[in-house]
Structure 1
């Protein structure tokens, strides 16, 4: 079976099945070659409202299903991601500009997310409370209802499925709005997998589109909860709207993540970790290593080796050649990356490697001679750029880390005891000792502090249950209580 036969989805939305949309069609394009890969329908506000109404109608029956029935759908979905990994991966490579290992990681984690979520329906859904009254008292978990999931382009499959799977498993329905640049690998793939897995109609609605669609999936009256992954500015807008409408907002936002390299660290391994952290998927990862803090004793050697590593990494079309970096997603993003790099150089920094591009292919870049005010040091670049700065003391390194407005991920390379002491002092949602900053596992909590989001909202059973259920107080007594009225 071909899972993604274009005749099934080309030019269509998924609202109670494949159907025509009323918005402008979206052309799916490969950034490496500008080849047109297909067309998806975009969802107008009317389409979103129609989908939200259908989702609300279907949710009650789905929540009433036996837990084992919901779990079975999630398990089948996981197996389908495994069975069709090569086909799905080919879309991630072409549509998102991903190298094959990164595409393989996405399909693997998508399957694991479904398997993890399949355990949620049969987990305890509350607790028995103590009480002074002659009744039984319970706090029980109930589905939140209709969940809108808004996902970005960079890891389109993972960043959709990590919210879609647990939300469905816990008895909710989902409106999924993928980024229009990756509407197939971040949207159509999920719709087709769950369709084949036997998910009843109306429970997952696919609504690609731009700003208007995004506003509609947040504002639709049936929606109670919004799971958003994207930029900090866009996340603030989503959060403000949700606050005004008294909806729950789970915000996974940007990062300008640091990696501290302590004296005595194995430099060859440290540089390998650094290159992976800064250049994986062209640096288009919220967890990308965006700031390298290196002890002064090893700074020069570190920069020299990292620059040599960057110069040796091949860049090109991942669908055609064996490369380490593919294309930037589009011209707008490339101009933003290059603008930050060039502004940093103009302000007095130096490029030890890179700082150039050929079309959408940006060379892995290493910047030195930075100040704390350098644009490449203060901003989330979202490109393959490694800014490097030295430090003299651990106190100085901790202060430099915490001075950032972001607080998502931190890597610490070196002696474990010293690294553990640093971990207790930094403001980050994720800390990795002797690993770089990019890491994610379905069973682990994921979230950031400060401008990186409003805490852990996905990953691990506790976070998922907290995110996609509400707590209801329920009391039971054997007879009607007596009252003084």
Structure 2
């Protein structure tokens, strides 16, 4: 039996072991429409039952020794390595990932587990000064039950980057993956931790619709919600969490800018821009959605980028060696094409692409773009690269910041000039002489403005802040004297 043998998970939920669910959801291959299996769907009742069980199991898990918790995380990392090929195959078929992206995602999962294995023994507080004759301490305690709601695009790592640190720090987790990628965003994680020795009841897999999402937010046992997804849904979750006095860590949309400075190597810059815009068909929150190029280079840059776009093959990554795989579903495919055609109708020039090819969208370049066009203003979530020119550094900074989002910015060219620009812009991440897509398990990750609530993922500091509560503790050698 393999790790992902459907006999284990088909039509089932992972909640105190694999349990039959009341209904199922087809696992569909976006490239072909073929059904790959059936996953179980949770109900609101399932979610509330899981939350109560998680709260019970969390107490024992939090009391487990740090080294024992660390051992589970290390073993999970080893299992991701051992089963990498099988997991990659599922990422290719279920999520439409090209092979290189699938391999990168699995290795991120390995690194995430190994990085989080250090959290149980990370310092969990500090000694405070005090005016009294006592010791005064601030210690970190597990938050309790954490709900993780993850999207379809990088389904494995965008769920695991919250699940792994939350578990490492002694919490229990309710995981709700996107129904379109429940195997790679949920079943894989549940099976890995099951095999790694995580006690029953500590992790629950709850795929489902919006009602299930609402339940994992509102269940009284849940203290922290970690959500990655669209800004409108994130706003709704944040509002609901605020009303219930719960913490919500929100990593939302992005319309990220790549700035090409005067004097930059155009060939290298266009290569970086193509990677940033076309990796995983542009279905990444950090995708390069806006190319801001100095007026001395903009014509050449657009021509080189368009040539690269035209040369990128599209197709079924499970059966062909392609650079771009399918868009996740027909609705999103038509949305991407609609944004392109609306922008062309508004005056943009189609320098490359702009075509639907089966379940795929060809790498697209738009020139003669203005800042009020849909392809510039909206997060396209597809392989579309609109290009605009600038003349001064002040103008570049203004164009970068004239956006509701603030997730990631890349700046290509002279480092000194790039540093000056970086100091003027609002963004959760700035990458000099790199494009906008980057992630490492030990680095803080998050955005500002409509991109979320800041860096709440990655690195010990962010993870400890995200998934623990601070408790003040004082200790006296004897009972204090009081005036009553």
Normalising by structure 1, report the TM-score: 0.99
CA–CA distance in structure 1, aligned partners of residues 17 and 230 of structure 2: 31
1:215 aligned to 2:217? no
CA–CA distance in structure 2, aligned partners of residues 63 and 186 of structure 1: 25
Indicate the SS of the match to 1:16: coil
Match of 1:103 in 2: 102
CA–CA distance in structure 2, aligned partners of residues 210 and 360 of structure 1: 24
The 5 Å alignment of 1:167-316 reads 167-316=166-315
After superposition, the C-alpha distances for 1:410-465 in whole angstroms (9 at most, x for unaligned) are 00000011001111111000000000000000000000000000101001000000
After superposition, the C-alpha distances for 1:277-324 in whole angstroms (9 at most, x for unaligned) are 000000000000000000010111001110010000000000001000
Question: How far off is 1:371 after superposition?
Answer: 1.1
CA–CA distance in structure 1, aligned partners of residues 130 and 458 of structure 2: 33
- Farther off after superposition, 392-401 or 351-360: 351-360
Match of 1:383 in 2: 382
CA–CA distance in structure 2, aligned partners of residues 165 and 319 of structure 1: 29
The 5 Å alignment of 1:54-65 reads 54-65=53-64
Match of 1:357 in 2: 356
Match of 2:122 in 1: 123
Match of 2:403 in 1: 404
CA–CA distance in structure 2, aligned partners of residues 132 and 21 of structure 1: 58
CA–CA distance in structure 2, aligned partners of residues 163 and 388 of structure 1: 35
1:9 aligned to 2:9? yes
Match of 2:52 in 1: 53
Please list every run of at least 4 consecutive aligned residues from structure 1 whose deviation after the TM superposition is greater than 6 angstroms: none
Any conservation in 1 of the 2:32–2:359 contact (CA below 8 Å)?
no
After superposition, the C-alpha distances for 1:193-230 in whole angstroms (9 at most, x for unaligned) are 00000000001100011211111111111100000000
Indicate the SS of the match to 1:456: strand
Indicate the SS of the match to 1:478: coil
CA–CA distance in structure 1, aligned partners of residues 311 and 123 of structure 2: 52
**Structure 1: gaps of 5 or more residues:** none
- Farther off after superposition, 24-33 or 150-159: 24-33
Indicate the SS of the match to 2:477: coil
CA–CA distance in structure 2, aligned partners of residues 339 and 357 of structure 1: 11
Match of 2:20 in 1: 20
Give the root-mean-square deviation of aligned CA atoms: 0.6
CA–CA distance in structure 2, aligned partners of residues 338 and 367 of structure 1: 13
Any conservation in 1 of the 2:44–2:211 contact (CA below 8 Å)?
yes
After superposition, the C-alpha distances for 1:356-413 in whole angstroms (9 at most, x for unaligned) are 1023210100001111101110100000000000000111000000111100000000
Indicate the SS of the match to 2:76: helix
Indicate the SS of the match to 2:41: coil
Match of 2:67 in 1: 68
Match of 2:140 in 1: 141
After superposition, the C-alpha distances for 1:53-97 in whole angstroms (9 at most, x for unaligned) are 110000000000100000000000000000000000000000000
After superposition, the C-alpha distances for 1:250-303 in whole angstroms (9 at most, x for unaligned) are 000000000000111111111110000000000000000000000010111001
Match of 2:412 in 1: 413
